[in-house]
Amino acid sequence: MISKFFGALTLAALALGTTQASGQNATSTLKKIAETGSITLSVRDNQLPFSYIDDNQKVMGYSLDLCNQVVGAIKIAVGLKAIDVKTQLVTAQTRIPLLANGTVDLDCSSVTNNAARQQQVAFSNTTFLTATTFAYKKQSGLKTITDLKGKTVVSIAGTNNIVQLNEANTKRDLGIRIVGAKTMAEAFLMLSTDRAVALVTDDILLASFIAASADADAYAISTDAFAPVEPYGLVMRRDDPEFKRVVDKALANYFATPAAIETYNKWFMKPIPPKNITLNFPMSAGLKKAFAKPTDSIDPAAY
Amino acid sequence: MNYNWNWRVLFEQSPTGEGSYLHLLLTGMQWTLATTGLVCVLAVLLGTAVGVARTLPFAAVRIAGRCYVEIFRNIPLIVQLFLWYFVLPELLPPDLARWVKQLPSASFWAAVIGIGLYMSARVAEQVRSGIESLPSGQSMAAKAVGFTIFQMYRHVLLPRAYRVIWPTLTTDLTNTVKATSVALTIGLSELTAQANAMQEFSFQVFEAFSAALAIYFVVNMAMLMAMRRVERYIAMPGYSGGR
């Protein structure tokens, strides 16, 4: 009886898989936007300064500003005077299903572009570059990755960062005790309560949590990186080259204007809501290059 | 739906370098099973003690038992885990706190204690109702033949109570398996956490969670069948399920 049931379950799953696969290419995002007169952007509530919610429940951020530029270009591409722009709050778990089933058309948060993920979604031109570094308390005197030898270090479970930390740990035989926290907030709590001496994740994420903490001066970010830079991009459905072309072109056009640098500085160099903290995160040489010559490459050498 | 189904992803190498994604999920299952096992031991031991306390002829003990049950039963599990994991160490002396916080499997032990106490409150209620469901003649007869209170519970009331509540204990066992997934919030890499990690790395969301679902299903079915077998063996004639 049990084996029969599993047989049926497998069959159902396979059937689901094949029908969905054959249904691909059916949606053209531009056509859909033209027909409905609306576009839905997916946003996150806690990815400061890319996509987050302030005290007035208003979604804002660097990625959202870029998306608004893209929406302007889409408007022209589909020949509409106005498009209704909707936002949909998503989490790491709901982002892909909602994009796949057409609820969301463009993801405006901060998503690392890599080969594995390109099997499932398409990425726009690179909008930001990040490196895996670690934050530490200045008084602990840790500066380089080697200083972490034998210590307890926290990272966020299920991220590329913890993988890179694992790799460095084995390769350099550091004997680091690695703890995985579920969210960045928990990970930072572990660092601030001395549960871990260092927190390994994207440098920009570290900068934002340090800037927001009660004693920002007590923390520092290492200059030593675990891996080469990783590009962030806006995320779209795969197999829709027409839509990707419009998005990429819109970003490329915008990056060529001084307004793009201003937008960068607005979010990374100046006080931002809700607490008026300043990230102090100057534009890296790699990103300057990516603005001058827009690319969606995942090769670190491209930046 | 524009989704690229790829079941073979389960056999692809995960970026953790420890093996395939399926291997990742199975190591998650091991943590789920280890947590469930220890939680059950803790829950049954403490639950029995508290359940007995709630039926003893001493008012103070009964009230203490009641307080225990209401506290652990009424605070959401996720809040309890946060209290055990993040708040408790802050109340300890600094050196001890640092030692506790940097324990290699701190999140595992916090999960065992947190979920164990939560489930123990539920087991306690069942033990209590199991004891109360027995005819009062049982305890009277035990007293009449000169049993002490300990002997009365040990030889008369508890063995019978457990046979009565076994089916509902089975439900709690499967609930425990599911409750362990809450431990991902304190960093335990159990099955749900690993499914999360898999979808974050590969973006194959549906494959990751379908596989986790299948594993949970198999684990729970196996436990249910084992419990049913025991249930048939211990069922009392004249009671529900008995012949």
pLDDT 10s digits, B105-121: 888 999 999 999 999 99
Hey, how many other C-beta atoms are within 10 angstroms of the C-beta on A36? 12
Q: How confident is the model at residue B236 (pLDDT cuts 50, 70, 90)?
A: confident
User: Can you give the pLDDT at residue B16?
Assistant: 76
Residues A109 and A238 in one domain: yes
ipTM surpassing 0.85: no
- Across the range A42-47, mean pLDDT stands at 91
Residue B153 reports pLDDT greater than 90: yes
- Across the range A271-279, mean pLDDT stands at 90
Residues A107 and A50 in one domain: yes
Is A77 a member of any domain?
Answer: yes
Is A13 a member of any domain?
Answer: no
Residues A57 and A106 in one domain: yes
Between chain A and chain B, how many beta carbons pairs sit less than 8 Å apart? 118
What does the mean pLDDT of chain A come to? 89
Query: Under 8 Å CB-to-CB from B74, ≥6 apart: which residues?
Result: none
| Percent of chain A's residues with pLDDT above 70 | 91
Burial class (CB in 10 A: 0-12, 13-18, 19+), A12: exposed
- Token pair, residue A193, equals 């309560």
The verdict on A1 touching B (C-beta cutoff 8 Å) is no
Q: Do B120 and B52 meet the contact criterion of CB atoms below 8 Å apart?
A: no
Provide the b/e sequence for A129-160 (b: ≥16 CB within 10 Å).
bbbbbbbbbeeeebeebebbeebbbbbbbbbb
Instruction: Give chain B as a 3 state SS string.
Output: CCCCCCHHHHHCECCCCCCEHHHHHHHHHHHHHHHHHHHHHHHHHHHHHHHHHCCCCCHHHHHHHHHHHHHHHHCCHHHHHHHHHHHHHHHCCHHHHHHHHCCCCHHHHHHHHHHHHHHHHHHHHHHHHHHHCCCHHHHHHHHHCCCCHHHHHHHHHHHHHHHHHHHHHHHHHHHHHHHHHHHHHHCCCCHHHHHHHHHHHHCCHHHHHHHHHHHHHHHHHHHHHHHHHHHHHHCCCCCCCCC
Coil/strand/helix, residue A176: coil
The verdict on A167 touching B (C-beta cutoff 8 Å) is yes
Residues A172 and A241 in one domain: no
Q: Give the long-range contacts of residues B18-22, CB within 8 A, separation 24 or more.
A: B21/B198, B21/B201, B21/B202, B21/B208, B22/B211
User: Can you give the pLDDT at residue B18?
Assistant: 80
Q: How far is A92 from chain B (nearest CA, A)?
A: 7
Coil/strand/helix, residue A104: coil
Q: How far is A158 from chain B (nearest CA, A)?
A: 4
User: Can you give the pLDDT at residue A23?
Assistant: 42
- Across the range A52-81, mean pLDDT stands at 94
Q: How confident is the model at residue A13 (pLDDT cuts 50, 70, 90)?
A: low
Residues A252 and A111 in one domain: yes
Which residue, among B95, B118, B117, B98, has the nearest Cα to B106 in the 3D structure?
A: B98
Residues A38 and A118 in one domain: yes
Provide the b/e sequence for B14-37 (b: ≥16 CB within 10 Å).
bbbeeeebbbbbebbbebbbbbbe
Distance CA B50, CA B62 (A): 9
- Looking at A170, A186, A221, which one is the last position of a domain? A221
Residue A258 reports pLDDT greater than 60: yes
User: Can you give the pLDDT at residue A158?
Assistant: 73
Residue A7 reports pLDDT greater than 80: no
Q: What are phi and psi of A220, to 5 degrees?
A: -145, 160
Q: Which of B201, B206, B210 sits opposite A116 (nearest CB)?
A: B201
- Across the range B48-66, mean pLDDT stands at 96
The verdict on B91 touching A (C-beta cutoff 8 Å) is no
- Token pair, residue A189, equals 């709590």
| Percent of chain A's residues with pLDDT above 90 | 70
Q: How confident is the model at residue A37 (pLDDT cuts 50, 70, 90)?
A: very high
| Percent of chain B's residues with pLDDT above 70 | 98
Residue A95 reports pLDDT greater than 50: yes
Per CB-CB distance under 8 Å, the chain A contacts of B214 are: 9
CATH of the domain at A246: 3.40.190.10
Q: How far is A62 from chain B (nearest CA, A)?
A: 22
Element (H, E) at A165: helix A160-171
Q: How confident is the model at residue A294 (pLDDT cuts 50, 70, 90)?
A: very high
Q: Which of A16, A93, A239 sits opposite B205 (nearest CB)?
A: A93
The verdict on A193 touching B (C-beta cutoff 8 Å) is yes
Is A163 a member of any domain?
Answer: yes
User: Can you give the pLDDT at residue A191?
Assistant: 94
The verdict on B206 touching A (C-beta cutoff 8 Å) is yes
What pTM, to 2 d.p., does this model score? 0.81
Residues A122 and A144 in one domain: no
Is A105 a member of any domain?
Answer: yes
CATH superfamily of the domain spanning B24-234: MetI-like (1.10.3720.10)
User: Can you give the pLDDT at residue A227?
Assistant: 87
- Across the range B176-197, mean pLDDT stands at 92
Residue A52 reports pLDDT greater than 80: yes
Residue B44 reports pLDDT greater than 60: yes
A195, A236, A238, A242: best to mutate for the B interface, most B CBs within 10 A: A195
Query: Domain residue spans in chain B?
Result: 24-234
Distance CA B145, CA A251 (A): 89
Which residue, among A174, A185, A124, A182, has the nearest Cα to A152 in the 3D structure?
A: A174
Q: For A97-101, A196-200, B97-101, B223-227, which range has the lowest pLDDT when averaged over its residues?
A: B97-101
Q: Do A24 and A71 meet the contact criterion of CB atoms below 8 Å apart?
A: no
Amino acid at A285: A
Number of domains in chain A: 2
Residues A235 and A210 in one domain: no
Q: For A179-188, B31-40, B205-214, which range has the lowest pLDDT when averaged over its residues?
A: A179-188
User: Can you give the pLDDT at residue A21?
Assistant: 44
Is A140 a member of any domain?
Answer: yes
Interface contact A195-B101, CB threshold 8 A: yes
Residue A9 reports pLDDT greater than 70: no
The verdict on A97 touching B (C-beta cutoff 8 Å) is yes
Per CB-CB distance under 8 Å, the chain B contacts of A196 are: 102
Residue A92 belongs to what domain range?
A: 29-130+231-280+287-292
Among chain A residues, the shortest Cα distance to B96 is held by A195
Per CB-CB distance under 8 Å, the chain B contacts of A116 are: 15, 201-203
User: Can you give the pLDDT at residue B242?
Assistant: 54
User: Can you give the pLDDT at residue A1?
Assistant: 47
Q: How confident is the model at residue A4 (pLDDT cuts 50, 70, 90)?
A: low
What does the mean pLDDT of chain B come to? 93
The verdict on A21 touching B (C-beta cutoff 8 Å) is yes
Distance CA A230, CA B66 (A): 55
User: Can you give the pLDDT at residue A18?
Assistant: 46
Q: How far is B207 from chain A (nearest CA, A)?
A: 10
Q: How confident is the model at residue B99 (pLDDT cuts 50, 70, 90)?
A: confident
Coil/strand/helix, residue A259: helix
- Across the range A231-257, mean pLDDT stands at 96
Q: How confident is the model at residue B212 (pLDDT cuts 50, 70, 90)?
A: very high
Tell me if the bond preceding A49 is cis, omega within 30° of 0.
yes
Q: Which of A2, A158, A189 sits opposite B197 (nearest CB)?
A: A158
Coil/strand/helix, residue A219: strand
Residues A125 and A59 in one domain: yes
Q: Which of A163, A177, A179 sits opposite B15 (nearest CB)?
A: A163
Q: How confident is the model at residue A159 (pLDDT cuts 50, 70, 90)?
A: confident
